[in-house]
Structure 1
Amino acid sequence: MQIFLLVETAGLCAPFSVACFWCYTCNDEPSNWNCVKATKCADTDKYCLTIYASGGIGDKKGQRITKKCSPVCPQTNLNLGVAAISTSCCEHSFCNLSGASSVKTSYLVMATGILASLIYSLRTGL
């Protein structure tokens, strides 16, 4: 899907001399699944910004994700115990697809999948 969007947007930007910069955007969504709307950023925007907020106690826990284009990258990592807010920025088109709170988590999930595949292949003799 991402490759299709890149090819599609390249066609839209090619006639213009200004380079296009695109980010995924959403506002105060409970899930990253709702944050896949592609938006062309303004010429002054340099970053795709993701804001992740969580809070609550017990069954009342919740999370919210906001993604947008931004001219600046605010570094915020605030943890108040029952509430937390963190931001992440990236500097190329469509780089804010993931809603993961950290890159380390993404690497851990990927490594676990590779390890599981390797174990399965060895056990079945493939």
Structure 2
Amino acid sequence: MKAFLVALLAAVLCAQQASSLFCYLCENEHSNWNCMKTYKCKDNEKYCTTTYSTVGTGKDMGQRITKKCSADCPEATNVDFGMAAYSTKCCSTSLCNFSGANSVRIDYAVILLGMAGSLVCMLRVGL
């Protein structure tokens, strides 16, 4: 009986404790302040992700933030389409997706180049 109890004690002490991951959760919010709701992820979800997107320029620029739990970690992406851009990052500790600041920026050089190209085309056509 003692051997059984010692074996049971050893099994309990050596067992890996399951720890739940908590992430901040929001969908298409305008501000990070609206993304403070915490959520307990499912057992298969091992990452917290933050997706940040912008559209427009200057005072007409809009931004959206989405935070959630994820089963996989997408590679950190930064995609810039000139007047629209998005960025996704992930992390693997509880509440690690607190910040809404990702490295998304609009490339104004691309915008200016596009405007210059349009101007040249218009001048060639005679508009």
1:67 aligns with 2:63: no
Would you say how many aligned residue pairs link Structure 1 and Structure 2? Answer: 86
Match of 2:8 in 1: none
How far, CA to CA, are the matches of 2:78 and 2:66 in structure 1?
A: 15
Distance 1:51 1:57 in 2: 19
Helix, strand or coil for the counterpart of 2:25? strand
Aligned to 2:23: 23
Q: What residue number does 1:84 align with?
A: 85
Residue 101 (structure 1) shift: 1.2
CA distance in 2, matches of 1:59, 1:99: 19
Unpaired segments ≥5 residues, structure 1: 1-16, 103-126
5+ residue gaps, structure 2: 1-16, 104-127
TM-score, scaled relative to structure 2 = 0.64
- Work out the CA distance in 2 between the residues paired with 1:27 and 1:70: 14
Residue 59 of structure 2 aligns to a residue in which SS?
helix
Cα distance in 1, alignment partners of residues 57 and 97 from structure 2: 28
Distance in 1 between residues matched to 2:98 and 2:60, nearest whole Å: 27
CA offset at residue 60 of structure 1? 1.9
3-state SS of paired residue (2:72): coil
Counterpart for residue 41 of structure 1: 41
CA RMSD of aligned residues (A): 1.2
1:93 counterpart residue number: 94
Larger radius of gyration: 2
In 1, the alpha carbon distance for the partners of 2:20 and 2:73 equals: 19
TM-score between the two structures when normalised by the length of structure 1: 0.65
